[in-house]
Amino acid sequence: MSDDRAVIRRARQSDAEGIARVHIASADDSLAPLAREWPASDLDRRTEQWAASLQAADRLDMVATVADQVVGFIGGGPPRQQDIPGGVEIYVFHVLPAHRCAGIGGQLWDLACTTLRGPAHAPLYLETLAELPCCTFYDARGGEVLTRTAGTFFGGAVTHLAYYWPAGKPHERRL
């Protein structure tokens, strides 16, 4: 899938249902296989949650659209964990499975991180699971694994990771 048709922009209230659809499809594809008990998808509830999140003044949410349909999104803002030395956090990042590996995720990542981190490249972190293929994406962009903790995810055994980019360290893809 080519990324030359993707438009990257700030999310709007009217994107809530599109974001919810991407969130559900991406999570069902990537996260559900790690769980023993995966909850049924509820588009209406997820849309309501996204509509509320998009109203938060301290968040940055961006979407990638192709033919005016949301195919990916990223959200971040102030850090939620006090024990991780990040100035900003990426809260959530999903791309529809059919649009992965086409550059759309990289475009979302670069613009969101540049916006959140500012010109001084404030420290950045995110949390994910070691079992997910997205770890190669973060590794390729210079993320350092700050913490690695065994845990569970909807009844399945997983390893929780916190990736970290110190102040001044680039977040762009390394060649």
* C-alpha to C-alpha distance for 105 and 50, rounded to whole angstroms: 19
Give the tens place of pLDDT for each residue, 52-72. 999 998 999 999 999 999 999
**Residue 3 confidence (pLDDT):** 45
Residue 137 CB contacts under 8 Å (≥ 6 apart), including other chains: 105, 109
What separation in angstroms does the CA of 150 have from each of 64, 118, 126, 130, 155? 33, 33, 17, 10, 13
Assign 1 a pLDDT band (cuts: 50, 70, 90).
very low
pTM for the whole structure: 0.93
CB 111 within 8 A of CB 75: no
Angle between helices 43-53 and 16-30 (to 10 degrees): 120
Of residues 96 and 2, more confidence is placed in: 96
Encode burial over 137-146: b for 16+ CB neighbours within 10 A, e otherwise.
bbeebbbeeb
Assign 175 a pLDDT band (cuts: 50, 70, 90).
low
DSSP state of 73: E
CB 93 within 8 A of CB 109: yes
Tell whether domain 7-165 is in CATH 3.40.630.30: yes
Give the tens place of pLDDT for each residue, 129-159. 999 999 999 999 999 999 999 999 999 999 9
CA dihedral 125, 129, 130, 133 (to 10 degrees): -100
Residue 47, token pair as written in the block:
């849309």
Give the tens place of pLDDT for each residue, 10-39. 999 999 999 999 999 999 999 999 999 999
Whether residue 2 is predicted with pLDDT greater than 70 in this model: the reply is no
**Residue 4 confidence (pLDDT):** 57
| 3-state SS, residue 72 | strand
Listed by start position, the domains of the chain span 7-165
Residue 88, token pair as written in the block:
């900003």
